Structure 1
């Protein structure tokens, strides 16, 4: 029982407009044996057909009844259809989810629910609550847990792992530890720049020797840190610095993958997310849409894009993040852009932040890296840029 709502019963879903996440949460939370649909005629389209197919794939044992279509503003037709659904089922087993319907549909259904002392729920996705209506009134936390794969499968997507940890010249445990140390080091000196990382980026993913002149003391300290983990070799320090990187995966790690692992580790440490992943691609129209880090919180995604280079503050990166979110969560997602750069150019930052706000993307700059765990926790529970 969920506050008087029977598990394994009949879930009646009103569909009119945006509906994906409230439906996912209600199915996962109530574990119904059967789903009935009362659908606005405006939603009688391929999108709804694909949605039903995604439900079948995500919940293969769930029985899905043929949908009933109604006029979204025809309250009498909505009420008549609700009666028909009740009459062909045991009313004691029926629960209505009013969330995904239009206001008129919800009002019409609620009159029938009250008259027959039936159960109903409303999914408050913004506050991660289930509001109980009808025969029992109250508020419950969303308790269902979701994996990242379940969430994207519901949107008809799949993932392809792009984690390079197993291909590095150091083991995964040391890669995670090094990523944390690089993050702390970069945050500490983010306003000074780092010629070591700049020269690694210039290699364009190629292994081999790197040479540059006039290193600062903190850059020498950084090189010694990398050497202590054996991710670089043949380090020589005089008036100029030279060192070697063994393979292309080590180059990719130092070029920016470390930030993905850093953010992923900080998210894992919070222990509040249902799932945390990093370094995956979502196949789409023959290409892969990259997701650097994603956290799942009570059925909703927090998607992070991680950039480390001097060209981090290009609006194309915001467009890429927006594009990924449109595939696996839309406005139910929180979107966070994380960069190791400090954003010292005030004019450029003002423009970049304006573009980010228009796309409902939160920006975290290099000086805030130490707080990324707290930021992710806050954005999960009380997002700065509200989700639906």
Structure 2
């Protein structure tokens, strides 16, 4: 006797993946529509040992869908059947449920809290499987991406990031120097070096500071302070904002729920692997929930909010969360927009004007971030 699973493919692909992974059927009868046909290949590619029979339907043709399900079941009546009712349109779900209820067959549903609800037994069970970031990206239909791990950075580079944070906290003049370097970089070399990591030499002298960069040697003198580092990544770490991303990754790597963490995730377009479609600073994976983090060491811009919104929509689904972890509190209008879009804001700025309006979470120490993540995960599980 073979195990058949009828599953409805809608806008959310993850419930389909979870249903097949948890139940491990021999054959999947995948019911999809013209609008969801592009996701068929992505889901099939994840299960090499399972047979997929695919059926395109009109999402609002109740009678036609019901007749299709009856035909599938009757043609394989000696086999065991189960129905994943999570995705698809309501009409698709009602048509399938009508057949399964009449024949008293197994029906289940997967909710946004990663629980599987058995409609016949009327009970919840927690999903036992885990999902990798690689699989998450592939399910979105993208095969080409690049990323780095925290372990790709040396202790020296992590310590450099910590020094930068201390200097920015102590009114040392380093924050002002960021602006001077950025201004000269944008004016003189940005067109030639679109990626800051490709820049092998750079120098600037201001009234209060001197910057000398000859890869891998970086020397900065400002207001009687000095930073020296020998690393090919040193210039990008300090003046490309990578220092903040490294510190956020180092902190969240220690979070008790973190099973996998990737940094600087660059997802290429489906048609041209040389073109970047989306970039994500940090992706946290708890095994079943994904948290996308945008790290901003400078002022938050409108484009940052749009970027975070697109990432969650394309890759995360309802079981994910987007967070903006910023050095400074954003403008009131950007806070309001984040609130409207369900984007969490964690701000490191220790003194702020409460009259800015909107909701955001402040933290005084990087170690506080993981406590905030615990509270956030609890909210997601409600």
Q: Same fold (TM over 0.5)?
A: yes
1:317 aligned residue: 304
Question: Could you tell me whether the CA contact under 8 Å between 1:91 and 1:118 is conserved in 2?
Answer: no
SS of aligned partner of 1:153: helix
Contact 2:147 2:262 in 1 (8 A): no
State the match for 1:356 in structure 2. 338
Structure 1 residue aligned with 2:96: 109
Q: Do structure 1's residue 260 and structure 2's residue 261 form an aligned pair?
A: no
Q: Aligned residue for 2:53?
A: 65
The residue that corresponds to 2:173 in the other structure is: 195
TM-score, with structure 1 as normaliser: 0.75
Contact 1:210 1:244 in 2 (8 A): no
Which whole-Å CA distance do the structure 2 matches of 1:202 and 1:162 have between them? 30
Instruction: Verify: 1:29 aligned to 2:22, yes or no.
Output: yes
Task: Specify whether residues 176 and 31 from structure 1 end up closer, same or farther in structure 2 by C-alpha distance, changes over 3 A only.
Answer: farther
Task: State the match for 1:293 in structure 2.
Answer: 282
- Establish whether residue 329 from structure 1 lines up as the match of residue 319 from structure 2: no
2:6 paired with 1:20: no
Q: Residues 203-258 of structure 1, C-alpha deviation per residue, up to 9 Å, x if partnerless?
A: 3456566767779xxxxxxxxxxxxxxx9876768x64455554551121123222
Instruction: Tell me the equivalent position of 1:227.
Output: none
> Which structure is higher in RCO with an 8 Å CA cutoff and minimum separation 6?
1
SS at match of 2:237: helix
Shift of 1:20: 1.0
Partner of 2:257: 272
Match of 1:250 in 2: 234
Q: Which residue of 2 aligns with 1:371?
A: 368
The normalised TM-score by structure 2 is 0.76
Partner of 2:44: 56
1:330-353 C-alpha deviation (Å, 9 max, x unpaired):
555421111122x2xxxx621110
User: Do the aligned partners of 2:146 and 2:267 also contact (CA within 8 Å) in 1?
Assistant: no
Partner of 2:293: 304
Distance 1:182 1:63, change over 3 A: farther
- Aligned partner of residue 65 in structure 1, secondary structure: strand
> Where do 1:83-232 residues align within 5 Å?
83-90=70-77, 93-125=80-112, 127-134=113-120, 136-163=121-148, 172-176=154-158, 179=161, 185=166, 190=169, 193=171, 195-200=173-178, 202-203=180-181, 204=185, 205=196
Gap change, CA 1:53 and 1:38, over 3 Å in 2:
closer
Tell me how far 1:378 sits from its aligned partner: 3.2
Tell me the CA shift for residue 93 of structure 1. Answer: 2.5
Cα 1:55–1:151 shift into 2, 3 Å: same
SS of alignment partner, residue 382 of structure 1: helix
CA 1:30/1:21 → structure 2, altered by over 3 Å: closer, same or farther?
same
- Distance of 2:133 and 2:232 partners within structure 1: 29
Structure 1: any 5+ residue segments left out of the alignment?
A: 1-5, 216-230
Secondary structure of the corresponding residue to residue 104 of structure 1: helix
Point out the structure with the larger helix share: 1
Point out the more displaced range, 86-95 or 29-38. 86-95
Residue 300 and residue 337 in structure 1: after superposition, are their counterparts in 2 closer, same or farther (change >3 A)?
Answer: same
On the 8 A contact 1:129/1:140 being kept in 2, the answer is: yes
Cα deviation, residue 23, structure 1:
0.8
How many residue pairs end up in the alignment? Answer: 340
CA spacing shift, 1:247–1:276, aligned 2, 3 Å: closer
Cα RMSD over matched residues?
3.4
Distance 2:149 2:234 in 1: 9
Segments of structure 2 that go 5 or more residues without pairing to the other structure are 186-195, 210-215, 350-362
- Deviation for aligned residue 1:198: 4.1
How far, CA to CA, are the matches of 1:379 and 1:56 in structure 2? Answer: 33
Q: Call closer, same or farther: CA 1:280–1:372 in 2, change over 3 Å.
A: same
